[in-house]
Amino acid sequence: MAAPVGRNSPCPYGSGRKFKRCCGG
């Protein structure tokens, strides 16, 4: 599931967590 967001960028899925924490990336 690729997303145009950096690992430390806010997750675009609305959880407000870091992308790596929110999406397990």
Which token pair is 2? Answer: 């690729």
Q: In angstroms, rounded to a whole number, what is the distance separating the alpha carbons of residues 23 and 14?
A: 11
Per-residue confidence (pLDDT) for residue 15, from 0 to 100: 54
Which token pair is 22? Answer: 């929110």
CB 18 within 8 A of CB 12: no
Per-residue confidence (pLDDT) for residue 10, from 0 to 100: 58
Per-residue confidence (pLDDT) for residue 11, from 0 to 100: 59
Per-residue confidence (pLDDT) for residue 8, from 0 to 100: 58
The three-state secondary structure class of 20 is helix
**Angle made by CA atoms 22, 24, 25, in degrees to the nearest 5:** 110
Per-residue confidence (pLDDT) for residue 7, from 0 to 100: 58
For residue range 1-25, list pLDDT tens digits in order.
Answer: 555 656 556 556 655 555 555 555 4
Per-residue confidence (pLDDT) for residue 17, from 0 to 100: 55
